Copies of this chain bind each other. A is one copy, B any other.
Amino acid sequence: MSKAALTRIHILQKAFDLIYRQGFQATSIDEIIATTELTKGAFFYHFKNKDEMGLAMIRELLAPAMQIALIEPLQKAEDPLDAIYEMMESILLKDSFFLSSYGCPAVNLIDEMSPVNESFRLALLEIMMAGKEAMEATIQRGMDQGRIRKDVKPSQVSAFVLIGYSGVRNMGKLVGAACYPIYLRELRTYLQNLA
């Protein structure tokens, strides 16, 4: 990896840290470059403008992170319902990077940017759709195995679970991580009723 490519992702990483905590619009370019050892010249050499940097951040950092946190745990699992629950438990309770008080970076960006920037919306939509499809496939697998009722609609269930995830992230900002176990308990009974 070239030195230039390294400074590029260095900028993206520092930007990610700040945007995660403050939001995209509330994080200035000056603030980002201040945390790196770089200047504005470097920033605008690597990125056409702030929006392009944000989109690059979504595609190159956020999407892979969500892939690892959301999708991969679903794919390498035996019992599908357990897999969904454990994925959720892991991302909420064990993941040390996604802090409760700052929510989930993907959910945050959806909330902030979807209504005001169509490019952001589409980039974030891709991430969530990938997660949804992975969960659908997992549920379908469970139905094929006879572990899940035949009348269950994979698309609806996966949507409901993802909705719960973004919801509990929002609630977590308000009341802290205390709501995570509560949500997980109800999620568990909801999932059990699918069997």
Q: Mark A residues whose CB is within 8 Å of B.
A: 21-23, 25-26, 101-103, 107-108, 110-112, 114-116, 121, 124-125, 128, 155-157, 159-160, 162-168, 170-171, 173-175, 179, 182-183, 185-187, 189-190, 193
Contacts and interface: CB of A to CB of B under 8 A. Distances in A.
* Binding site secondary structure of chain A: helix
A114 B21 CA distance: 11
A92 to B, nearest CB: 12
Contacts of A21: 115
A174 B165 CA distance: 14
13 contacts: A21-B115, A25-B26, A26-B116, A101-B115, A124-B174, A128-B171, A156-B185, A160-B183, A163-B167, A163-B171, A164-B164, A166-B170, A193-B193
Given A163-B179, A164-B167, A166-B171, 9 more contacts: A25-B26, A101-B115, A107-B111, A111-B112, A115-B173, A160-B164, A160-B187, A163-B164, A166-B166
